[in-house]
Amino acid sequence: MPKKTPAGDNPITSQSQDELGRVGVAESVALDIRSIDASEGYVVGLMGPWGSGKTSLVNLVKEQLRAEPALPVIDFNPWMFSGADGLVNSFFREISAQLREKRDRDYGALADRLDRYGEVLTPLVWLPVVGPWAGRVKTLTSTAKKFKDKNQKSAADQKRGLSESLAKLDKPIVVVVDDIDRLNRQEIQDVFKLVRLTASFPNIIYLLVFDRHRVEDALSEDGMPGRSYLEKIVQSGIDLPVVPGKLLLKQIGVALGGVVDDVGGVDRFDESRWTDVLFEVIVPLIDNMRDVRRYAASARTTVQTLKEKIDLVDLLALEAIRIFLPDVFRAVASAKAGLTTPSSYGGGGNYESPSLKAGVVAVIEAAGDDHEVAEALVHQLFPAGDRHLGKSVYGSDWLKIWLKGRRVAHSDVLSLYLDRYVTDSMAAHDRAEQAFALLSDGRALDHFLRSLPADEQEDVVAALETFEGDYPVEAVVPASVTLANLLSDLPEKERGMLGFDTRIVVTRVILRLLRRIDDEDAMKEAVEEIVPQLTSLSAKLEIVGTVGHVEGLGHKLVSSEYGAELEEALAAEIVQADEESLIGEWDLLRLLIAPDRLFADTTPRRISVDADPRFHEALVRSAMSNMRSQTLGSRQVHVPRTLAWDSLVRIYDGEPNLAVVLQKIDENATDTNAEVREVLRKYVDGWRPETFDYEDESSSALLA
């Protein structure tokens, strides 16, 4: 069974894992090594930039060398040792230890000689020169000199004996020293001094693996270029072949496919954008297989966490920026507003804060030479930021599209990626997706919406607008019935100056559902099916008013004749309804004035002052609203309670009757009707809002 390709930055270890077709290169290098005349030692350099796959190729070469007729291969890792002294001693000890593992008599004797030679080369670093020994430094120095002279003679003898033993071998020993370019400058110099010291031993072939530019720079000193120094030591250089662009692209695809498979697949992937994002943002940042593996390994956790919440194309693009252009990534986080705010978003005419453009420009500047990648990132992932670079302009109508597609172009989605924080609107959209899946099942939809916290239900319904173009026709009737009946139980929420009230929020979604039917006869059939299932006259008023032809209210979804029939039937129901049943209506005032104000040629409903006080209370309460106003230059919104006074006067046939109504409500005073009594008393006493024509507001709200 083939071995699985290593994850992350790990090199491959055998030809079964080779995905770049480098087995042939490894065979050629191994053949060259086998053909070397190593009677006086030899040094081979395998060179390539960081991340080019040098270690992987060396592993393939070692696999070839260990095949019959096998050559002994010794690995020496200079990372494990520091300092020239420790490096020399450890080098010979490490080689001797690995030779002993081969359980060959000749190698055992050779290992002993290597140990002894390493010992005599080790300087006298153990001699203390501080503390109680400080007074004896002179004596110690004299002793050390005599010991050094003696060791030099011993080293020459040991080297001669070691050379004789190595010369007797029937095949050379290959010593591999990898990752030299990862050492610091001094350590690189120490390694090459070690090689220079030992390179003349017979039957020792060094295979040094490094980045040429890094090593040449480290070896340059005192006016002598590092390349000249390197050429004196390395007798044969092999430059690692560059991975062809097509092959690297294939490996990117394979790696990302592995990420998707590992996380169990993804649900959100915009194929229409993938090719452009891949070639304009991701591919330019990846130079080698190390980059590929590093990218895939780093992206895996993010994809696992956010695969169901953010489009995969955006995830993979931002992960590439995070990994390879961290300065740009930080700039993206700082420029969130500039990248996600559409043109004229939030009002304010043509003015917008200069900080929006400054943030986007900072993203480009942070990229330096990779500015084209940053510009592509803005264009492909953040269309709203395009205009700051002199390109396309996107308005706020795109926000719904970006949110639906879970693209980071929407600020809530970008916040989720950057902060792993789900905003309230994002949470509502998540639940709206669940509700959308239930649109065709009225009972299931009703159960789901009512299972949500009451203060979240309206937001979820509002978020259903995002899916407007995808409403199934078969969902029109059950979903419209469910939403219209839900209206009576939705609590009013605090709103800003421009916020829609609850009724309008829900009716907007119902209207968009009804518009999915484009045939007049089919619309009539749908309405005839919807109306009988509505549980309140207020809900019927919403449906009848929406589909009919009332000026400023209806959207003419049915014929004028059929609309008139619906209005007449509803007006009759309203006029004939008993007070007890009307008390429970959630839009009582608007309902009672409908026959008079909306539907022509009907008898208006008049209310007697002798009606049940509970009915008076319910009617006055339904006439109450918040008059939202805002002072120029101030963010504070004022919300005094007001009454649709003119409508109440019409229904009660005069202001004097409303004074009697107040008296009756006062006689049944409770804590729950205190606000009703307070507001009604203000009006009976003559108070009116000075800067607000409630009659106009009432009419517009009625006809909205």
Q: What is the DSSP letter of 608?
A: -
* 189 Cα distance to chain centroid: 44
For the cut 80, the answer to whether the pLDDT of residue 1 exceeds it is no
* DSSP label of 223: T
Give the pairing type, strands 624-626 and 641-643. antiparallel
Predicted confidence at residue 689, as pLDDT, reads 84
N- to C-terminal Cα separation, the chain? 70
- Is 80 exceeded by the pLDDT of residue 426? yes
Is residue 306 a contact partner of residue 345, using CB atoms and an 8 Å limit? no
**Do the Cβ atoms of 54 and 46 come closer than 8 Å?**
yes
Token pair for 688: 């009116």
Q: Which pLDDT value is given to residue 434?
A: 94
Q: Give pLDDT, residue 493.
A: 65
β-bridge pairing 73-76 and 173-177 = parallel
Question: From CA 204, how far away is CA 206, in angstroms rounded?
Answer: 6
Q: Sign (positive/negative) of CA torsion 405, 409, 410, 413?
A: positive
More confident residue, 348 or 313: 313
Q: What is the DSSP string of 285-317?
A: G--SHHHHHHHHHHHHHHHHHHTTTS-HHHHHH
SS3 602: coil
Give pLDDT, residue 372.
96
CA distance 390 to 385: 9
Angle made by CA atoms 173, 178, 182, in degrees to the nearest 5: 155
CA dist 295 and 278 (Å) reads 13
What is the structure's pLDDT at 402?
A: 95
Phi, psi of 139 (to 5 degrees): -65, -45
Query: What strands, in cross-sheet order, belong to the sheet with 73-76?
Result: 73-76, 173-177, 204-210, 42-47, 236-239
pLDDT-based confidence at residue 560 (cuts at 50, 70, 90): very high
Per the structure block, which two tokens stand in for 595?
Answer: 């026959």
pLDDT confidence of residue 452: 94
DSSP-derived pairing of the beta strands 42-47 and 236-239: parallel
Find the helix packing angle between 476-486 and 520-530, rounded to 10°. 40
pLDDT for 6 equals: 53
Weakest mean pLDDT among 12-21, 170-179, 449-458, 527-536: 12-21
3-state secondary structure of 695: helix
What is the maximal distance between C-alpha atoms in the chain? 128
Mean of per-residue pLDDT scores for the chain: 84
Return the closest-CA partner of residue 96 out of 80, 114, 82.
Answer: 114
Domains of the chain, with CATH numbers? 15-239 (3.40.50.300), 245-419 (no CATH), 606-704 (no CATH)
* CA nearest to 589, candidates 524, 481, 680, 473: 680
Please tell me the predicted confidence (pLDDT) of residue 634: 45
Half-sphere exposure of 275 (CA within 13 A, CB side): 1
Question: pLDDT tens digit string along 7-17?
Answer: 555 677 777 77
pLDDT for residue 235 is more than 70 = yes
The pLDDT tens digits of the residues spanning 530-547 come to: 999 999 999 999 999 999
pLDDT tier for residue 698 given thresholds of 50, 70 and 90: very low
Identify the pLDDT of residue 202.
92
User: Residue 117 has what pLDDT?
Assistant: 77
Residue recorded with tokens 């609107």: 425
Residue 437 has what pLDDT?
A: 95
pLDDT at residue number 124: 34
**pLDDT at residue 31 greater than cutoff 70:** yes
pLDDT at position 478: 97
DSSP H/E element including 369: none
Average pLDDT (330-351) is: 81
Q: Using an 8 Å Cβ cutoff, are 573 and 540 in contact?
A: yes
pLDDT confidence band for 582 (50 / 70 / 90): very high
Rounded distance between C-alpha atoms, residue 675 and residue 307, angstroms: 50
Question: What pLDDT, on a 0 to 100 scale, did the predictor assign at position 473?
Answer: 95
User: Which range has the worst mean pLDDT, 429-443, 492-506, 508-522, 659-673?
Assistant: 492-506
Q: What is the pLDDT of residues 381-425, one digit of tens each?
A: 999 999 999 999 999 989 999 999 999 999 999 999 998 888 888
Q: 151, 170, 171, 154: which is closest to 162 by C-alpha?
A: 154
Judge whether 351 and 247 are in contact, CB under 8 Å: no
Residue 152: the pLDDT is 54
Q: Could you count the other beta carbons within 10 Å of the beta carbon of residue 599? A: 22
Cα–Cα distance measured from residue 542 to residue 439, given in angstroms and rounded to the nearest whole number: 19
pLDDT of residue 548: 93
DSSP-derived secondary structure for 34-71: HT---TT-EEEEEE--TTSSHHHHHHHHHHHHTSSSPP
Task: Check pLDDT > 70 for residue 139.
Answer: no
- pLDDT tier at 258, thresholds 50, 70, 90: confident
CA dihedral for 293, 298, 301, 303, sign (positive or negative): negative
pTM for the whole structure = 0.68
- Determine the residue type at 437: A
User: For position 704, what pLDDT does the model report?
Assistant: 34
Helix (H) or strand (E) holding 482: helix 476-486
How many of the other CB atoms lie within 10 Å of CB of 491? 9
Q: In this predicted model, what pLDDT tens digit does every residue of 38-70 receive, in sequence order?
A: 999 999 999 988 777 888 889 999 999 999 898
Element (H, E) at 176: strand 173-177
Whole-number pLDDT of residue 125: 33
Quick check: 457 pLDDT over 90? Answer: yes
In whole angstroms, give the CA distance from residue 21 to residue 74: 25
Q: Which residue has the tokens 């609309």?
A: 563
Q: Is residue 696 pLDDT above 60, yes or no?
A: no
pLDDT digits 0-9 by tens, 597-615: 777 655 567 889 999 999 9
How far, CA to CA in Å, does 412 sit from each of 309, 340, 419, 429, 470?
11, 9, 10, 10, 22
**pLDDT one-digit tens code per residue, 268-309:** 899 999 999 999 999 999 988 788 888 988 889 899 889 889
Which residue in 412, 339, 405 sits closest to 374, CA to CA? Answer: 339
Higher pLDDT, 91 or 241: 91
Q: Give CA separation, 314 vs 268, 337, 410, 422, 690, in Å.
A: 10, 17, 11, 17, 53
CA quadruple 95, 116, 139, 145: dihedral, nearest 10: -90
pLDDT of 500? 61
Q: What is the tens place of the pLDDT at every residue in 616-656? A: 999 999 998 876 544 444 444 445 789 999 989 988 989 99
156: pLDDT confidence band, cut at 50, 70 and 90?
confident
Structure tokens at 48: 């390539």
How many helical (H) and strand (E) elements, i.e. helices and strands, does the chain have?
Answer: 33, 9
- What is d(CA 334, CA 419) in angstroms, rounded to the nearest whole number? 12
Task: Read off the pLDDT of each residue in 332-359 and give the average, rounded to a whole number.
Answer: 83
Interstrand relation of 204-210 and 42-47 (parallel, antiparallel or unpaired): parallel
pLDDT of residue 17: 77
Distance CA 432, CA 99 (A): 69
Sequential DSSP letters for 640-687: -EEE-HHHHHHHTTSHHHHHHHHHHHHHT--GGGHHHHHHHHHHHTT-
